[in-house]
Copies of this chain bind each other. A is one copy, B any other.
Amino acid sequence: MVRPNAGTKGVPRLDRETQILDIASEQFGTHGFAATSVATVADKAGISKPLIYNYFGSKEGLYEACLDRGGSLLADEIERIARGEAVGIERGMATLAGMFTLLEPQPYLWRLFFDPTAPSTGAIADSIAGYAERIGKLADEGVTELMRLAGNDDPLDISAMTAVWLGIVDSLMNWWMEHPEESAEQMMQRCMRLLTALFGGDAE
């Protein structure tokens, strides 16, 4: 039968891989791992399924490549902010600002690391755990410092507060994805206003 582009020197592999990962990241990040099919990614990339399997080995391999690409961006940025001088809530706001800016062109990137339908064992789980550890470690540091300032060093309290902080970030990201017309700058200003509403003027 006719095979449209078989036997062609098409797109160089590295370019094609980047294109595939752009589309796959958006699909996985928007719909979740389980609800995204390799066939859909291939369709949207204008290629065939076997090519994706040739390059990435499996659906999990594809997801892992997406994580590796996006995770470095995310974790590097959060680590960069953590090296700053901000502490406590100020550090939290700085982290949010950096993430809004980073994620503005690709807000779905966040969801790659917080997807309940991603595999919970194997390479993907290990990769997610690795990035979550990097991200959570910094969150934990920031939270531990804030809790220490408040005189609380209970490990379970710190763990719960870290979970709450990540839950706040997650809900803001989700709200933002439901309001894509809001810019990163507007989101940051909104966060400052919410902070002020909660703490009054001393958040300044």
Contacts and interface: CB of A to CB of B under 8 A. Distances in A.
Contact of A197 (B34, B150, B182): B150
Interface string A148-165: 001110101101110110
Interface residues of A, number: 36
B116 A194 contact: no
A174 B175 CA distance: 19
A65 interface: no
Given A157-B194, A190-B156, A200-B150, A171 B167 contact: yes
Copies of this chain, whole number:
2
A77 to B, nearest CB: 21
A166 to B, nearest CB: 6
Closest 8 CB pairs of A and B: A167-B171, A150-B197, A163-B175, A167-B167, A163-B171, A152-B197, A164-B171, A160-B175
13 contacts: A32-B117, A116-B116, A150-B197, A152-B196, A156-B179, A157-B193, A157-B194, A159-B175, A160-B172, A160-B190, A161-B194, A163-B171, A164-B175
